[in-house]
């Protein structure tokens, strides 16, 4: 049976609480399924480390990460570190190290005539690679339906490239239906007619906003997962709950671990362990149906109680299968 090496980076706020919960259910799955082993190595890369050493990622850190099959990430962000430093210092420093992505220029800082720009660079190659992946993802799902989100009426350079590329790539996917939306109208459609949507592709900033909206519409930001995938599999992919470090509930033991469980399920599927992934999601759904939920979903359970309930469900599920 294969052994997967997982790098865990819990980082800040509720990150350690939910990653611990995620690792508990993953260990429980591998214990009862007997089909694979998991080896975890923990990295203390966090805002605390940054405040002590000036660095989120120690020298040679990214090279070390390359030895792993996947990365399980918590959340980064601390009240005493500006968000753009924590985000670029750790999360984006891991998930975008090899991409030409964004560029900013700031001059005359603090002066009334200060100028600040935020330039997003889209290469045809990168846009096509992403849109092709989105069409492939849509093709693998039952409804075979993709919505391409841009803001090409206002952002007439970069976003128009997205529209053009989508049209070209669509020719290779005649079995997939696709439509285009402007991001502002998309928020309305997601809110009023979510059933008309399935797979969605958008640039980083738009997707960042829409994914939080999607999570809230589904009930809570505490349930949605994120996968940062390298489809070439040359580098380990990174899996994380969509939420941030949630300072307001850190240390209270009430963080919803479901986003991290779903994240763990996506990680297992990516590693090729589809059965384990499906088992985990079925067990999480059953626990939610029983009403064992944290406060954000209207329940009274703690993080640990939800985690234990999922582990019990995993054990019961496998007993039933035997
Ligand atoms: P947040 O997601 O941390 O919190 C928003 C709200 O949702 C809070 O009220 C919080 O209590 C609630 N919430 C979040 N996760 C929850 C969970 N698992 N269970 C129950 N409730 C949950 O967003 P924010 O307040 O905008 O950001 C806080 C910090 O996190 C900032 O420093 C921000 O930069 C950082 N952040 C990091 C990531 C990341 O690491 N990927 C993502 C978003 C925000």
Confidence class for position 84, pLDDT limits 50, 70, 90: very high
pLDDT at 321 (0 to 100): 64
145 strand-pairing partners:
177
HSE of 221, CA atoms in CB hemisphere, 13 A: 13
Query: In a mutational test of the pocket of ligand 1, which residue from 10, 88, 243 has the highest number of ligand atoms less than 8 Å from its CB?
Result: 243
Give 234: exposed, middle or buried? Use CB within 10 Å, 0-12, 13-18, 19+.
exposed
Query: In a mutational test of the pocket of ligand 1, which residue from 244, 296, 307 has the highest number of ligand atoms less than 8 Å from its CB?
Result: 244
Percent of the chain predicted with pLDDT > 70: 96
Q: At what angle do helices 15-33 and 274-289 cross, to 10 degrees?
A: 120
State whether the beta carbon of 246 lies less than 6 angstroms from ligand 1.
yes
In angstroms, what is the span from residue 134 Cα to ligand 1's centroid? 26
Confidence class for position 106, pLDDT limits 50, 70, 90: low
For the four alpha carbons of 283, 222, 3 and 269, in that order, the dihedral sign comes to positive
Note whether 190 and 207 are within 8 A (CB). Answer: no
The pLDDT mean for the chain works out to 93
CA angle 240/254/41 to nearest 5° reads 40
Per the structure block, which two tokens stand in for 137? 């993802």
State whether the beta carbon of 83 lies less than 6 angstroms from ligand 1.
yes
Per the structure block, which two tokens stand in for 70? 């996947």
Q: Could you count the other beta carbons within 10 Å of the beta carbon of residue 167?
A: 13
For the ranges 176-180, 230-234, 271-275, which has the lowest average pLDDT? 230-234
| Residue owning tokens 């939910």 | 18
State whether the beta carbon of 301 lies less than 6 angstroms from ligand 1.
no
102 pLDDT higher than 70: no
Indicate whether this complex's ipTM tops 0.85: yes
State whether the beta carbon of 248 lies less than 6 angstroms from ligand 1.
yes
């Amino acid at each position: 049976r294969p052994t997967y090496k997982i790098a865990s980076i819990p980082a800040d706020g509720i990150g350690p609480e939910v990653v611990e919960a995620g690792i508990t259910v993953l260990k429980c799955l591998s214990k009862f399924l007997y089909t694979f082993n998991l080896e975890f190595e923990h990295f203390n890369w966090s805002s605390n480390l940054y405040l002590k050493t000036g660095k989120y990622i120690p020298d040679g850190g990214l090279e070390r990460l390359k030895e792993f099959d996947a990365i399980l990430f918590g959340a980064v962000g601390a009240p005493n570190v500006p968000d753009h430093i924590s985000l670029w210092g750790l999360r984006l420093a891991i998930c975008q190290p090899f991409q030409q992505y964004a560029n900013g220029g700031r001059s005359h800082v603090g002066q009334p005539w200060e100028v600040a720009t935020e330039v997003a660079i889209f290469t045809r190659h990168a846009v096509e690679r992403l849109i092709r992946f989105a069409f492939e993802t849509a093709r693998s799902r039952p409804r075979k339906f993709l919505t391409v989100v841009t803001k090409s009426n206002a952002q007439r350079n970069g976003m128009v490239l997205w529209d053009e590329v989508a049209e070209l790539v669509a020719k290779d996917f005649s079995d997939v239906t696709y439509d285009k939306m402007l991001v502002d109208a998309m928020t309305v459609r997601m809110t009023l007619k979510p059933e008309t949507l399935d797979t969605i592709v958008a640039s980083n900033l738009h997707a960042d906003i829409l994914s939080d909206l999607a999570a809230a519409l589904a009930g809570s930001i505490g349930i949605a997962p994120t996968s940062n995938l390298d489809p070439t599999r040359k580098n380990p992919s990174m899996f994380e709950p969509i939420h941030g470090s949630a300072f307001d509930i850190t240390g209270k033991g009430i963080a919803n671990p479901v986003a991290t469980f779903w994240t763990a399920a996506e990680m297992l599927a990516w590693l090729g362990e589809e059965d384990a992934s499906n088992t985990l999601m079925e067990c999480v759904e059953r626990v939610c149906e029983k009403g064992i939920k944290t406060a954000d979903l209207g329940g009274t359970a703690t993080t640990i109680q939800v985690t234990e309930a999922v582990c019990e469900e995993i054990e019961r599920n496998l007993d039933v299968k035997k």
